[in-house]
Structure 1
Amino acid sequence: MPFAKESFFNTISFRIFAFFWLTFSLLSILIFSIPYFDSRIYSELSEKELSAYQQEIITSIRHNQIARILAGVPLSHAERFDGIRPVLVDDVDDSSILGATATEIPLLTQFMFSSSDPTRPLKKVFGDVRIVGPFSIHLGGEANKSYTLYFIDRVNAQKEIMSFVFANPALLVGLIILVSTPLLWWLARSIGKPIRNLQMSAKAVALGDFKINKDLETKGSLELRQVGQSFNQMTESLEELLSSQQVLLSSISHELRTPLTRLQLALALLRRRFGEDNTEIHRIEIEARRLDKMINDLLLLSRQQLHSHVSREIFPINELWEEVLDDAIFEAKHRKLNFVVRQNITQPARYYVNGNKALLVSAIENIVRNALKYTQSEIRVSIFLKRQELMIVIDDNGHGLDEAEYEKIFQPFYRVDETRTRETGGTGLGLAIVANVVKEHHGAVWANASQLGGLCVTLCIPLWITS
Structure 2
Amino acid sequence: MSRLGWFIRAHLRRRLFVWFGVSIFITFLVVVTVMNVMGGLMGGGSSWHQETERVRTFVGHQLAAVWDDPARRDALARSVTQDLAFDVELRDASGALLLRTGGPCAPHSELTVPVEREGVKLGTARACFGRTRPRQPWRGPMVLLLAGATLWMATGWLARQLSRPLDTLARTAQELGEGKLDARVQLGRHATGEMTVLAEVFNEMAARIERQMADQRELLAAVSHELRTPLAHLRVLVELMRDAGGPERTADQMEREVVELDALVGELLASSRLDFGQLSARELDGKDLALRALERMGQPVETLAVEVADAKLVGDATLLGRALANLLDNARKHGQGAEALRLLERDGQLAFCVDDRGPGLLPGEETRIFEPFYRKDRGGEAREAGSLGLGLALVQRIARAHGGDTFAENRPGGGARVGFTLRREGPPAVKSPPTATHSRV
Q: Mark the CA change 1:44 to 1:206 in structure 2 (over 3 Å): closer, same or farther.
A: closer
- The structural deviation recorded for 1:384 is 2.6
Match of 2:372? 411
SS at structure 2 position matched to 1:213: coil
Alpha carbon RMSD of aligned pairs, Å?
Answer: 5.6
- The structural deviation recorded for 1:445 is 3.5
The answer to whether structure 1 residue 398 and structure 2 residue 357 are counterparts is: yes
- Does the CA contact (< 8 Å) of 2:331 and 2:354 recur in 1? no
- Does the CA contact (< 8 Å) of 1:87 and 1:150 recur in 2? yes
SS at structure 2 position matched to 1:147: strand
The answer to whether structure 1 residue 300 and structure 2 residue 269 are counterparts is: yes
The answer to whether structure 1 residue 432 and structure 2 residue 393 are counterparts is: yes
Match of 2:344? 381
Q: Calculate the TM-score normalised by the size of structure 1.
A: 0.61
Match of 1:279? 248
- Does the CA contact (< 8 Å) of 1:341 and 1:380 recur in 2? yes
Q: Mark the CA change 1:86 to 1:179 in structure 2 (over 3 Å): closer, same or farther.
A: closer
The answer to whether structure 1 residue 147 and structure 2 residue 123 are counterparts is: yes
- Residue deviations 1:81-108 (CA, integer Å, cap 9, x gap): 3379985334544xx44444224x33x5
Match of 2:302? 335
Q: Mark the CA change 1:197 to 1:372 in structure 2 (over 3 Å): closer, same or farther.
A: same
- Which structure 1 segments of 5+ residues have no match? 112-123, 125-130
- Residue deviations 1:202-227 (CA, integer Å, cap 9, x gap): 34434543225251487444454344
Is the deviation greater in 289-298 or in 409-418? Answer: 409-418
Matching residue within 98, 108, 115 for 1:110: 108
Q: Which AA in structure 2 matches 1:402?
A: L
Matches within 5 A, 1:47-446: 54=57, 56-62=59-65, 64-65=66-67, 67-68=69-70, 73=74, 78-82=79-83, 87-93=89-95, 96-103=96-103, 105-106=104-105, 109-111=107-109, 131=111, 133-135=112-114, 137=116, 146-150=122-126, 167=139, 169=141, 173=145, 177=149, 181=153, 183=154, 186-187=157-158, 189-191=160-162, 193-211=164-182, 213=184, 215-216=186-187, 219-250=190-221, 252-253=223-224, 256-257=227-228, 259-274=230-245, 279-280=248-249, 282-304=251-273, 306-307=275-276, 309-311=277-279, 321=286, 324=289, 334-335=301-302, 339-341=306-308, 357-358=316-317, 361-362=320-321, 365-366=324-325, 369=328, 374-376=337-339, 379=342, 381-385=344-348, 392=351, 394=353, 396=355, 398-399=357-358, 400-403=360-363, 405-406=365-366, 407-408=368-369, 410-412=371-373, 414=375, 416=377, 428-438=389-399, 444-446=405-407
- The structural deviation recorded for 1:335 is 1.8
- Residue deviations 1:412-444 (CA, integer Å, cap 9, x gap): 58473899998xx98854323223435667875
* Matched pairs, number: 397
SS at structure 1 position matched to 2:346: strand
Q: Mark the CA change 1:170 to 1:337 in structure 2 (over 3 Å): closer, same or farther.
A: same
Q: Distance in 2 between matches of 1:247 and 1:363?
A: 21
Q: Distance in 2 between matches of 1:412 and 1:338?
A: 31
Q: Which AA in structure 2 matches 1:447?
A: A
- The structural deviation recorded for 1:292 is 4.0
- Does the CA contact (< 8 Å) of 1:321 and 1:364 recur in 2? no
Q: Mark the CA change 1:435 to 1:288 in structure 2 (over 3 Å): closer, same or farther.
A: same
Q: Calculate the TM-score normalised by the size of structure 2.
A: 0.63
SS at structure 1 position matched to 2:278: coil
Q: Mark the CA change 1:280 to 1:20 in structure 2 (over 3 Å): closer, same or farther.
A: closer
- Residue deviations 1:349-399 (CA, integer Å, cap 9, x gap): 9xxx9xx734663465346646986443684733335xxxx6847473632
Is the deviation greater in 183-192 or in 325-334? Answer: 325-334
Match of 2:410? 449
- Which structure 2 segments of 5+ residues have no match? 41-46, 430-441
| Percent sequence identity over aligned pairs | 18
- The structural deviation recorded for 1:146 is 4.7
